[in-house]
Amino acid sequence: MSFAREVAVAARLDFAEVLRSRWLVFCLVVHALLAAMFVLVGLRESGVIGFTGMGRALMSWSHALLFLLPLLALSATGQVVNTARDDGSLELLLANPVSRTGYFVGTSLVRIAALCVPLWIAMPLMALVGALAFGQEVPWSFLLRGMAVSTSLLLCFVALGLWVSTLVRNQAKALMLTILIWAAGVALIDFALIGVMLQWELPPSAVFALAALNPVQCARLALLSAAQPELSTFGPVGFFLANHVGSTGLLWAGIGWPLLLGLTAWTWSLGAFRRRDLL
């Protein structure tokens, strides 16, 4: 069996599992509810950090996604491999002419599609509704920026979820680890960074370097720099970023670093999956 056919077989089986678990429906409903909420709020008020109307709705929604997308990605992937190993379906599948690499690639592609497609549908649809139903001007450049940053963040946390699922065999421990990764990404690192800044007077470049280690922080800066290029709300750090990194540099950091981290985690996971015992 060719490698492409192996990937297709594994993807078809995992896609059937995704449909049974209603992940696609759940993601679409979540995005639709968030979009509706931010459209109603954003179109009623104006004058927020350079955007008005639909721009504010997209800005608010994108920042909400920075907290939601990592949780969705970790929940969708954090127990894929260890669950298949425990219920025997993985051993049964690999008893057929399907390689471990084919299974892992096919499963990864399906999970990525199940999480990214609802996002790619919801964001442009939200903009079109605002333009057609409410007569709002859509900031298409920011929309594309938000989609690119959100997609890279999704890919990063999908890879981290697969890494947990591959290396941690116990499902309860895997669940706890995914929650800790999510908490570290969206909250704990902020508090730790603030504590370090209070304890030691770090230069702005060091503060940025520490913050940039967190892919969620990179994504947040990439979005905020589009709305407020001078980044005055960050004080000296914002001045350093605006003058030495710039909006374009922050965009590439917000896309490139999550992708690099995700690729590293996915490659590590694939290597561990190919070497480890399935029983």
DSSP-derived secondary structure for 111-178: HHHHHHHHHHHHHHHHHHHHHHHS-PPP-HHHHHHHHHHHHHHHHHHHHHHHHHHHH---HHHHHHHH
* Per-residue pLDDT tens over the stretch 82-100: 888 888 888 888 888 888 9
Distance from CA of residue 175 to its chain's centroid?
A: 18
> Residue 233's pLDDT is what?
55
SS3 85: helix
The structural domains of the chain, with segments of one domain joined by +, span 3-275
With a threshold of 0.95, does the pTM exceed it? no
Distance CA 133, CA 135 (A): 6
Tens of pLDDT along 129-140? Answer: 777 766 777 778
Report CA dihedral (184, 189, 195, 196) to the nearest 10 degrees.
130
DSSP 190-242: HHHHHHHHHHS---HHHHHHHHHTSHHHHHHHHHHHHH-TT-GGGTHHHHHII
Whether 234 has a pLDDT exceeding 70, the answer reads no
Span 206-222, average pLDDT: 78
